[in-house]
Amino acid sequence: MSLRHPFSTVITDAVNKVRAINRRYAHPRLAMSKSTLVALLCLRVYLLTLVGLLVYKFVTVVMQ
């Protein structure tokens, strides 16, 4: 038996597990009121800004 087989089984199992988790939580249970949606939108903007700053820092460090 080649080593590729058990390795691919592990990967397939992991992917299936992640898919099962995604299916289980596909529908957020919390009621998405206006305030909740605004809070989540602000969070996305905040994180995008932060990631942007991190990328900027990385690029400036690499360029030096």
Among 10, 11, 54, 59, binds another protein (CB under 8 A): 54
Q: Where are the alpha helices (DSSP H) in 1-64?
A: 4-24, 34-63
Give yes or no for residue 34 binding another protein (CB under 8 A). no
- Find out whether 30 and 36 touch, Cβ atoms under 8 Å: yes
The first and second tokens of residue 57, run together, are 């820092």
**11, amino acid identity:** I
Among 43, 45, 52, 59, binds another protein (CB under 8 A): 43
Binding site for another protein (CB under 8 A): 17, 21-22, 24-31, 36, 39-40, 43, 46-47, 50-51, 53-54, 57
